[in-house]
Amino acid sequence: MSAVPTAARPKVVLFANTAWYLYNFRRSLALALVDAGYEVLLLSPPGEYGEALRALGLRWMPAPMDRRSLNPWRELSLLFWLFRLFRRERPTLVHSFTIKCAVYGSLVARLAGVRARVNAVAGMGYVFISSDLKARVLRPLVRLMLRLALGGPSARLILQNPDDAALFAAARLVDATQVRLIPGSGVDCARFSQRADRARAAGQPLRVLLAARLLWDKGLAEFVAAARELKASGRRTSFLLAGAPDAGNPASVEPAQVAAWVGDGLVEWLGQVTDMPALLASVDVVVLPSYREGLPKTLIEAGACGLPLIATDAPGCRDVVEHEVTGLLVPLRVSAPLAAAIARLEDDPALAARLGQAARQRVMERFDEKRVIADTMAVYREVLPETAASTK
């Protein structure tokens, strides 16, 4: 039997694997939902950004979840905790982000009688990207769990790019009629705006930024190798790395390795940056040599700032970067083409300016967060049509 919300307003749970993700990627959605008349509960493992969410007036609750845990007792304990929470809170809809949250959130929501489920999977994650033994062992189990979790007439799966949609269809993980394509979480084009004096001063070295979680599959090895190649050729190009290691991800780069790159003079490590508009205003090019993405927010934010983009010809990346139009695409897992693309933009400021202007226009047309939030709420109304009138 379906649960009935205790209040007149429909209640939505937003469930993610980090408070950092909720704050940086979904706080605008949460605030828009509140403004639209929804009651919102944010759920994630403990983290410093939980208090930042509360400071915005949002309700956030820490969940006893370990992203890397494979302990069956710990995982069962989490499932029971979620079940008790959903029965107590009686949400109308549970919206889960990333694969683990989608599986756990959806399965428990079904058992707890939650009326509607929406799952957003941003990329395929470590289990599907990595070729190591643990990922290969887990893959069949995760596929099975996804099939069980994602189905049902009151469920929708939000994917961020056509490549992921094709992969899910080929794996028969979900009925194609339940899939909706929404390009990421969007970007605030007023906050991320183009600097008036974008042109690099004569004689100043090109400043190249990679902003991402410090994971090997973000292309860090290729980024550092490109830096090594260009510096060895006598160029003064500055390579900036923004982001922190992710202890919850098996592909995380060890801090000692990053320190070694800094010690060799290859990169400048900025750590976790909170003021991304200011950082983007200080650089000339943004690169992302990732192996696979959902819809990379770092490229969208950089494009909104009028920066030329360099990315791999990979799912997600090529949905933001159109080669020779908004940026340059390079092959995966090799550094020489990345180095050549960086050198090309350094040597041709007019090309860099043209690509940056086109990137800004593309982001405003396709990736503005107002459009993304509106599309997400439209998915809610599909599975909860009776809320359309009450939340307008």
**pLDDT tens, the chain, 392 aa long:** 444 444 468 999 999 999 999 999 999 999 999 999 999 999 999 999 999 999 999 999 999 998 777 688 999 999 999 999 999 999 999 999 988 899 999 999 999 999 999 999 875 556 666 677 777 777 777 777 778 888 888 999 999 989 888 888 877 778 889 999 999 999 999 999 987 666 676 678 999 999 999 999 999 999 999 999 999 999 999 999 999 998 878 889 999 999 999 999 999 999 999 999 999 999 999 999 999 998 999 999 999 999 999 999 999 999 999 999 999 999 999 999 999 999 999 999 999 999 999 999 999 999 999 999 999 999 999 999 876 545 55
- The pLDDT assigned to 329 comes to 98
3-class secondary-structure state, position 234: coil
Q: Which residues pair with 40 in a beta bridge?
A: 12
Yes or no: say if 216 and 253 are a contact pair by the CB < 8 Å rule.
Answer: yes
Which residue pairs, CB below 8 angstroms and at least 24 apart, start in 352-357? 352/284, 352/285, 352/308, 353/198, 353/199, 353/308, 355/308, 355/309, 355/324, 355/325, 355/326, 355/327, 355/328, 356/194, 356/198, 356/303, 356/306, 356/307, 356/308, 357/306
Yes or no: say if 106 and 117 are a contact pair by the CB < 8 Å rule.
Answer: yes
Architecture of domain 11-186+369-390: 3-Layer(aba) Sandwich (3.40)
- The pLDDT assigned to 125 comes to 58
Yes or no: say if 192 and 28 are a contact pair by the CB < 8 Å rule.
Answer: no
Prediction pTM value = 0.85
- The pLDDT assigned to 1 comes to 40
Neighbours of 323 (CB within 10 A): 13
- The pLDDT assigned to 38 comes to 97
The CATH number of the structural domain formed by 207-366 is 3.40.50.2000
**Total residues belonging to the chain:** 392
Neighbours of 136 (CB within 10 A): 11
Yes or no: say if 245 and 274 are a contact pair by the CB < 8 Å rule.
Answer: no
For residue 270, what are the contacts with CB-CB under 8 A and spacing of at least 6?
240, 241, 242, 279
**CATH 3.40.50.2000 residue ranges in the chain?**
11-186+369-390, 207-366
- The pLDDT assigned to 5 comes to 46
